[in-house]
């Protein structure tokens, strides 16, 4: 497949007017030095400052600058998704607009995709210039993400990443899923995922745009990614298996209690007065409900327009 550019750099931003000129000049110097054909796609996520005005001025001076502006703030995932849709480069690089990601890393990330044939390369901020209130939860999330996804990256949330173009065209990023794009790529069939230690700069302008809610949204989105990746096309395999297991356990112990009442301890108190019997009934009822949840999820999936959206890597004679 022929691509119009070698590199597409997607930069989501929110209220970053101070850093945009400096960031683009830095990117342009690196691109010119290595003679890359490139484009920079700034995605303004509903900024309230003059970020869009700066992007407009850059676009009039440089043909390589493109801009997308949201009507309001939708979040980083939405900005990345629209940037991915617009990207025409063979390799797509993502980076933050706050100057904490170094454009000097771009040629090395490009080489790993274009020459070493990685599908995804994630940056690893081995030495971070962030407070412990940010680094400690990040370490915990990264540990949990490695265990749940089977992808052994040190820094899932690093904004500096590189992808093959077909990777970003094959996934959908929404909610706060920008933290877990490598797992999304893996579940889409792109298994060659690498990592590179990258330089992390101290924030030069402004403050972080992520609040306390990331500590809640991060784990929930991780569970969503893992569940959809493993059971999105077959929810009955998850809900049905749990439901059957719970029903069988409840039925087994209920049968034991009934046999005990009828043949062993005939004069014991009524079954309905025994806590154990009530617990077995609850277990059986929950089992039936889990099974029905899986059944309903299967019905919804069968009527989904994406139920057969499988990625074809190559074709011959079609």
Q: How far apart are the first and last CA of the chain?
A: 16
Q: Residue 318 has what pLDDT?
A: 45
- DSSP annotation of 270: P
Q: How far apart are CA 122 and CA 117, in angstroms?
A: 14
Q: Residue 257 has what pLDDT?
A: 86
Q: Take residue 224 and report the two structure tokens written for it.
A: 């969503």
Segments in the chain below pLDDT 70? 1, 129-135, 202-218, 229, 232, 266-269, 272, 301-318
By the 10 Å C-beta count (0-12 exposed, 13-18 middle, 19+ buried), 163 is classed as buried
Instruction: Look at residues 285, 295, 193 and name the one whose alpha carbon lies nearest to residue 237.
Output: 295
pLDDT tens string 68-120: 999 999 889 899 999 999 999 999 999 999 888 999 999 999 999 999 999 99
Q: How far apart are CA 199 and CA 124, in angstroms?
A: 8
pLDDT tens string 226-246: 777 677 677 888 888 899 999
Q: Residue 304 has what pLDDT?
A: 57
Q: Residue 316 has what pLDDT?
A: 47
Helices 106-114 and 17-34, axial angle in degrees (round to 10):
50
């Amino acid at each position: 497949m022929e691509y119009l550019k070698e590199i597409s750099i997607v930069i989501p931003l929110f209220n970053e007017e101070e850093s945009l000129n400096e960031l683009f000049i830095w990117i342009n110097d690196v691109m010119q030095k290595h003679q890359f054909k490139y484009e920079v796609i700034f995605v303004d996520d509903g900024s309230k400052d003059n970020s869009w005005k700066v992007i407009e001025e850059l676009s009039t001076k440089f043909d390589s600058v493109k801009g997308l502006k949201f009507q309001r703030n939708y979040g980083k995932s939405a900005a990345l998704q629209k940037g991915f849709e617009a990207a025409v480069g063979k390799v797509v690089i993502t980076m933050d607009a706050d100057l904490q990601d170094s454009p000097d890393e771009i040629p090395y990330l490009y080489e790993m995709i274009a020459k070493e044939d990685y599908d995804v390369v994630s940056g690893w901020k081995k030495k971070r210039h962030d407070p412990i209130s940010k680094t400690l939860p990040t370490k915990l999330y990264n540990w949990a993400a490695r265990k749940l996804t089977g992808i052994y990256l040190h820094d899932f949330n690093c904004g500096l990443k590189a992808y093959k173009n077909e990777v970003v065209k094959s996934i959908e990023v929404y909610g706060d899923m920008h933290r877990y794009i490598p797992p999304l790529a893996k579940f889409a069939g792109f298994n060659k995922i690498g990592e590179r230690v990258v330089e992390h700069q101290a924030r030069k302008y402004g403050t972080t745009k992520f609040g306390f809610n990331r500590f809640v949204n991060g784990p929930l989105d991780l569970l969503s990614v893992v569940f959809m990746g493993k059971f999105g096309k077959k929810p009955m395999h998850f809900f049905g298996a749990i439901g059957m297991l719970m029903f069988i356990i409840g039925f087994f112990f209920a049968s034991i209690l009934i046999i005990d009442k009828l043949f062993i301890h005939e004069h014991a108190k009524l079954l309905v007065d025994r806590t154990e019997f009530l617990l077995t009934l609850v277990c059986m009822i929950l089992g039936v409900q889990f099974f029905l949840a899986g059944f309903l999820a299967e019905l919804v999936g069968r009527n989904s327009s994406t139920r057969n959206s499988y990625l074809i890597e190559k074709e011959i004679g079609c």
